[in-house]
Amino acid sequence: MIKIYHNPRCGKSREGLSILEQSQQKFEIVKYLETPPTRVELEKIIELLGIKPIELIRIKESVWIEHFKGKNLSDSEVIDAMITYPILMERPIVIKNNLAVLGRPPQKILEFLQLG
């Protein structure tokens, strides 16, 4: 099953959702601002993406600037920040068959879906 972590207010996320809809594959939408991932889920997403937690942060987001900018945070503290403020997560994230892609730009989702 394909899963997209989606923010309806984000243009890139809406583009990513449109790509999934056009693929005619079954998928689940997770509106992560309404239903934030747990620590375990977030750690798994980061692992599947093959990135450091800080690479999933929207560093231009006002919450980041106000609360965290310039601080030397551990990976665990960065994950805590995303759990507390899910708006900090880059989006959209698409997961399929224990693989994941960050849909920035959204065309990465199209390439990802073609992998299998």
Nearest residue to 41 (alpha-carbon basis) of 8, 88, 84, 79: 79
Nearest residue to 81 (alpha-carbon basis) of 34, 42, 26, 30: 42
Residue 10 bears catalytic tag: yes
- Pair of tokens at residue 39: 């620590």
Rounded-to-integer distance, Cα 16 and Cα 34, Å = 18
- What distance separates the 2 farthest-apart alpha carbons in the chain? 44
DSSP 38: P
Half-sphere exposure (CA, 13 Å, Cβ side) for 106?
A: 17
Residue from 10, 33, 48, 51 carrying the catalytic annotation: 10
Residues with catalytic function: 10
